[in-house]
Chain A
Amino acid sequence: MTATERISDPTLLVLTSLAEGEKHGYAIMTDVEQFAGVKLGPGTLYGAIQRLEERNLIEPVESADRRQPYRLTRNGELYLREQLNLLRAVTRLGLSRLEAL
């Protein structure tokens, strides 16, 4: 997976939420709403979880609780870092261009 590969917003938001530590679905949902102001619906959230799990970016964690927590894999950490660095570069460039106006 390369840094230039496009990632859709819900998956990036889920990865960012899991960067804090393992979380189950509802905890991800509320965390995303708090830090990004985006209310992920249950279908969107589980669509993102499915895609991320298939790409080996997150994995389920064994738990005694009825709720299923997930955590970032090593690949997920690398991928999120790449994506956020790319976003940071784009943000810096965009802001510098705006200041030059």
Chain B
Amino acid sequence: MKTLCRIMVSLYPPAWRRRYQREFLDLLGDMPSSTYREVWDVLRGAFRAWADTMWRSEYGVEFTVALVIFITGIVNAGLSVTGGDGVWRSSAFFLVTAMGTTLACGVTGFLAARRRASVLRSASGGLMLALSALMIPAVVLMAVAYAFESAAAPMPFDQFPFKNGPLIGPVLLRFTEEFKHSKEWFAHWGRSVGLSFMAALIAGTLMAWLGGCAQLVLRRLLGRRG
């Protein structure tokens, strides 16, 4: 467990590690033993250190934008997966959640631009964070889902190679049947989850930009009057 704790110190932000890593490792060395509780504590500490770092950094508000998008994507995807084929997977539901995300991101973008001279800089920070948080898993999920769907056509048994073999045929057939089942599952839900993330990402980022622009326009208008 101690080794695991030591490895997990690398999860802390670089600035934190520069300042505390040596003494933190000394502390772990002093402790007689460590359990899963300590491992969990180190993991939680790393998360909190990152959250503190991000929140206090120049991109603190953009971090909030990315977090709002991320949570919305998770909730949307979770409801899509667990909600069956009813209202949760309907286009109306996607529309409502997309509208909620865009509204929240618009407000956050508006607030972010208040602290900055450049809306472009403000929004690019949000975009960068949102991209790193969501784009990669969303694209991977969707790519795999589409690949599985295109390959999901079942192979007729009589065309199956080695079907008459003593052992290989039935084993391969069973494997193919199970693989086909998993392919269908992934093709169905993977795309739904990927789409949820993508919708939240695109709508949220666009609205964060628009919120920032609104702030800039408002500030210029008020500045002229002043």
CB within 8 Å of B: which residues of A?
A: 24-26, 29, 41-47, 49-50, 66-68
Contacts and interface: CB of A to CB of B under 8 A. Distances in A.
Contacts of A49: 20
Nearest to A39: B37
A78 B31 CA distance: 31
B5 to A, nearest CB: 7
A60 B41 CA distance: 23
Given A25-B30, A42-B45, A67 B38 contact: no
B209 to A, nearest CB: 33
B48 interface: yes
A65 to B, nearest CB: 9
A71 to B, nearest CB: 14
A30 to B, nearest CB: 9
A25 B27 CA distance: 6
Given A42-B5, A43-B41, A50 B20 contact: yes
29 contacts: A24-B26, A25-B23, A25-B24, A25-B27, A26-B27, A26-B31, A41-B37, A41-B40, A41-B42, A42-B24, A42-B27, A42-B28, A42-B31, A42-B38, A43-B42, A43-B43, A43-B45, A43-B48, A44-B44, A44-B45, A46-B20, A46-B24, A46-B27, A47-B45, A50-B49, A66-B26, A67-B26, A68-B22, A68-B26
Nearest to B27: A25
Given A26-B31, A41-B42, A42-B41, A47 B48 contact: yes
B12 to A, nearest CB: 9
B16 A50 contact: yes
Interface in B37-73: 37-38, 40-46, 48-49, 52
Interface of B: 5, 16, 19-20, 22-24, 26-28, 30-31, 34, 37-38, 40-46, 48-49, 52
B48 A67 contact: no
A38 to B, nearest CB: 12
Given A42-B42, A46-B24, A47-B45, A67 B30 contact: yes
Contacts of B40: 41
A66 B27 CA distance: 10
Contacts of A46: 20, 24, 27, 45
Contacts of B16: 50
Contact of A25 (B5, B26, B38, B45): B26
Contacts of A25: 23-24, 26-27, 30
A66 B24 CA distance: 11
B38 A41 contact: yes
A67 B46 CA distance: 21
Nearest to A25: B27
A75 B62 CA distance: 33
